[in-house]
């Protein structure tokens, strides 16, 4: 374990380090921007957020009140369904998480109801 890092349990039950979650969240946000999304973190009450379009601009809303692991799951749910993700270089860790979200989407489950 990295000194100073705190283990957390992600919404999918996987234990990971907070530093891993924050790093993946940043990488996933950059990936979304590279794919043409505008990523916004705003307080959304109990709503997890998700994808929408405003004025023709694709946007991903993340609930700023939720922990980083939940914001990451919301973001991965959107990215896992984007056909252009496979054309982008990503870390092995992010690719692994995207695969988990893709397989969940294939079964009709989304991260928002975990």
Distance of CA 58 to the CA centre of its chain: 15
Alpha carbons within 13 angstroms on the beta-carbon side of residue 25 total 22
CA dist 114 and 105 (Å) reads 12
113 belongs to a structural domain: no
Measured CA to CA in angstroms, residue 88 lies from 27, 35, 63 at distances of 12, 8, 25
Expressed as residue numbers, the domain containing 84 is 7-102
In this prediction, residue 106 has a pLDDT band, given cuts at 50, 70 and 90, of low
Sequence-separated (6 or more) residues with CB below 8 Å from residue 109 = none
Q: Indicate the number of domains in the chain.
A: 1
- How large is the average pLDDT for residues 27-44? 96
CA dist 88 and 108 (Å) reads 25
112 belongs to a structural domain: no
107 belongs to a structural domain: no
45 belongs to a structural domain: yes
- pTM (two decimals): 0.76
**CATH number of the domain enclosing 69:** 3.30.2010
1 belongs to a structural domain: no
């Amino acid at each position: 374990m990295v000194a100073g890092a705190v283990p957390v349990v992600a919404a999918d039950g996987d234990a990971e380090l907070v530093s891993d979650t924050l790093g993946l969240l940043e990488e996933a946000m950059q990936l979304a921007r590279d794919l043409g999304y505008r990523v916004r973190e705003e307080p959304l009450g109990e709503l997890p957020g998700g994808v929408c379009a405003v004025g023709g601009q694709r946007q991903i809303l993340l609930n700023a009140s939720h922990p980083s692991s939940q914001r990451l799951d919301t973001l991965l749910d959107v990215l896992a369904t984007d056909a252009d993700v496979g054309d982008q270089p990503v870390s092995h860790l992010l690719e692994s998480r995207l695969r988990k979200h893709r397989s969940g989407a294939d079964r009709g489950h989304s991260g928002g109801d975990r």
